[in-house]
Amino acid sequence: MTKKNILVLCTGNSCRSQMAHGYLRTQLKEKANVYSAGIETHGLNPGAVSIMKEDGIDISGHTSNNVDEYSDIPWHFIITVCDHAKENCPYIPSKTAIRLHHNFFDPSKVKGSNEEVHTAFLNARNEIKGYCEEFAEREFS
């Protein structure tokens, strides 16, 4: 079975796309090559790293990549995880890629107490986890 190539795309490739990347890589293991990228690069968000670690997934080694770095990869799935990326993404030529979109809440924009920020990251992580589980079940079972 040929591994499928999945691109998770966000604005800055720092938070939501990184969490989805971590879940899809963990859930799909050898069934897919998972990449994440942004239309910009903002570095890895420490809140995303921390909240994923709470769920047993280490994304601390991920890098923030620009979508242009992956222009040679034949995509099977391109998943945009925020409206800004969907609307502003450079054209990615692919006759075969299935394009999916879900606008996840951005926890990195939350200002408030440590508890409020943690809750925002927890809620976003859980929503992303559920989406990734449904995607993996639907497309890879």
Which positions are annotated as active-site residues? 10, 82, 89
From CA 90, how far away is CA 14, in angstroms rounded? 18
Beta carbons of 52 and 25 less than 8 angstroms apart = no
H-assigned helices in 6-80: 16-28, 46-54
Assign 96 to helix, strand or coil: coil
Name residue, tokens 């069934």. Answer: 31
